[in-house]
Copies of this chain bind each other. A is one copy, B any other.
Amino acid sequence: MITDLEHIKTTIENKGVKASYQRLKIMEYLLKTKNHPTVDNIYEVMVKEIPTLSKTTVYNTMNLFVEKNIIKALSFTGVETRYDIVTQSHHHFICNQCHKIYDINTACSFMCDNHKIINGNKIEEVIGYFKGICKECINNKT
């Protein structure tokens, strides 16, 4: 299985990150639940497995993972940063009603301006997401 600890160890070490116990377990969590968790989300779950865990460690770990390109930091309307495992490029859809976050893997034109030059400015990254009403909420309208 993909969430095997040994496998995770080599995975993050290949990215140049030493595999401490907390880093391994946090990575395991990120791989298992493909949510887009906040630091608080992660801390609340992991502190049950690692009672000595500090929230600072979660922050440090997330910052390190972002730096090493293992995860991506997402900032939607809310205040808190959310994190996403870097797999293949995909987009996000946030429901204005239930606030659920959906991954969008369907081809769409969102990234088509990537690496273009507009007004002389060289675009390196297109950052963004979709907002609207999700399928479930459309059906559930009473």
Contact = CB atoms under 8 A, between A and B. Distances in A.
Contact of A121 (B95, B110, B118): B95
The quantity of this chain's copies bound in the complex is: 2
A140 B133 CA distance: 45
Interface string A42-80: 000000000000000000000000000000000101000
A120 B108 contact: no
Contacts of A119: 93, 102, 104, 106, 135
Contacts of A121: 93, 95, 102, 130, 132-135
A109 B109 contact: yes
A95 B129 CA distance: 20
Interface in A86-127: 93, 95-96, 102, 104, 106, 108-110, 112-113, 116, 118-127
